[in-house]
Structure 1
Amino acid sequence: MTAAAESDAWRHTSYGFVHDTENALIAPFSPGWAMEVEYTAAFSELFDQAGLFIRARDDVWVKAATEFSDGQLSAGAVVTHGRSDWSLSPASDWLGKRVLIRASWSGGAITIRGGIAGEPLRLLRVLPFEDADSVEAGPLVCAPTRAGLVVPFHAWRVTAADASLHGQ
């Protein structure tokens, strides 16, 4: 996927602006299911990002992704209910590697996990997410500060939701 220049998803918090220009290929997503994407996280510019986008409405969505910021690759999520929040943790060892991001929806929550494809995934976020009509999800790329970001995606899957929060 190629990111459009200055593309991003964000609403209000801290920066004061609304960006609804993410590049996402989305399909129906329902409770009881998980969605995964695999891609190569070869980023070099500020805020280069790729991962999984989940949209219920224009002002209710989740971006679960890896992102290059402050000189390193991080993994995390932006959760938006009118206003966005942002959580991340270092994932420098994922840079240049094939990454898997997984969102599992069950019990009124979405559990986000990520890691290097083929290795154990780590828990990135658990967030409340109620059933809603027309929820869609799929691969995402954004390049808020430049043009020309191309991210190779290797897989996009829908599987059964995780059986439990722990023991994955």
Structure 2
Amino acid sequence: MKWFNEPGKWSGNENKLQVTVDPDTDYWRVTHYGFIRDNGPFYFREQEGDFEASVKISGDYRELFHQAGLMIRIDEKNWIKTGIEYVDGVQNVSAVVTREMSDWSVVPRHDSPAAVWLTLLRKGDFVEIKYSFDGKQYEMLRLAYFPPGVAAQIGVVAAAPGKQQFTVVFEEFAVTRIN
């Protein structure tokens, strides 16, 4: 695995990775806000074909838009990120799908769960995202188009668009090739 936008402070590997997310980092393209950001820490591997990625995430979300999750990426104009995003004091299960422009969907959580488990299935021309708060029972968050037949980067991502850093722990990141 390797870094895109390596953070100043991190330790571990794909089994357990602790990251202190630097402020003024994000991933977004144009829609609504009119800016482009492509500078959050992303720890990834290259993967071809169909696969499923999974991870458990625990974060110390404190400031607006603190976020952590999974990302699948071809380039700066074609990517999907999903995970927890902190908005107005509430953790939201979130997905941003970007094909030239970003869109954003959320499921608000008012119970501030200690951790979230995510799975991201890439198959053919789509990505299916599921989430869980117990690591056993999963619900679908999003089914989105994703360009087929091209290798992608898959890994863990985080961002802190504001002025405060935060700490996040990723556990048991795994990618399983499927037929």
Written as runs of structure 1 = structure 2, the 5 A alignment for 1:56-67 is: 56-67=74-85
Please say if residues 49 and 177 of structure 2, whose CA atoms lie closer than 8 Å, have aligned partners that are also in contact.
Answer: no
Which runs of 5 or more structure 1 residues have no equivalent in the other structure? 164-168
The CA deviation at 1:31 is 3.0
Please say if residues 74 and 89 of structure 1, whose CA atoms lie closer than 8 Å, have aligned partners that are also in contact.
Answer: yes
Please say if residues 110 and 128 of structure 1, whose CA atoms lie closer than 8 Å, have aligned partners that are also in contact.
Answer: yes
The CA deviation at 1:71 is 2.1
Q: Which residue of 1 aligns with 2:133?
A: 116
The CA deviation at 1:130 is 2.1
Distance 1:107 1:132 in 2: 7
The CA deviation at 1:134 is 3.3
Distance 1:19 1:132 in 2: 26
Distance 1:76 1:127 in 2: 13
Q: Which residue of 1 aligns with 2:30?
A: 12
The CA deviation at 1:157 is 0.6
Which runs of 5 or more structure 2 residues have no equivalent in the other structure? 1-18
Distance 2:124 2:152 in 1: 16
Q: CA RMSD in A?
A: 1.7
> Percent identity among equivalent residues?
30
Q: Which residue of 2 aligns with 1:82?
A: 100
Q: Which residue of 2 aligns with 1:24?
A: 42
Per-residue CA deviations over 1:51-77 (Å, capped at 9, x if unaligned) read 001111111111111100022110021
Distance 1:77 1:20 in 2: 16
Q: Which residue of 2 aligns with 1:141?
A: 158
Distance 1:100 1:149 in 2: 19
Instruction: Please give the TM-score of this superposition, normalised by the length of structure 2.
Output: 0.83
Large movers: runs of 4+ above 6 Å: none
SS in 1 for 2:166: coil
Letter in 2 for 1:100: W
Distance 1:148 1:107 in 2: 37
Residue 97 (structure 1) aligned to one of 79, 103, 114: 114
Per-residue CA deviations over 1:64-95 (Å, capped at 9, x if unaligned) read 111000221100210001100000111233x2
The CA deviation at 1:132 is 4.4
Per-residue CA deviations over 1:85-125 (Å, capped at 9, x if unaligned) read 000111233x2412111110113110001121423111010
Q: Specify whether residues 121 and 42 from structure 1 end up closer, same or farther in structure 2 by C-alpha distance, changes over 3 A only.
A: farther
Please say if residues 60 and 166 of structure 2, whose CA atoms lie closer than 8 Å, have aligned partners that are also in contact.
Answer: no
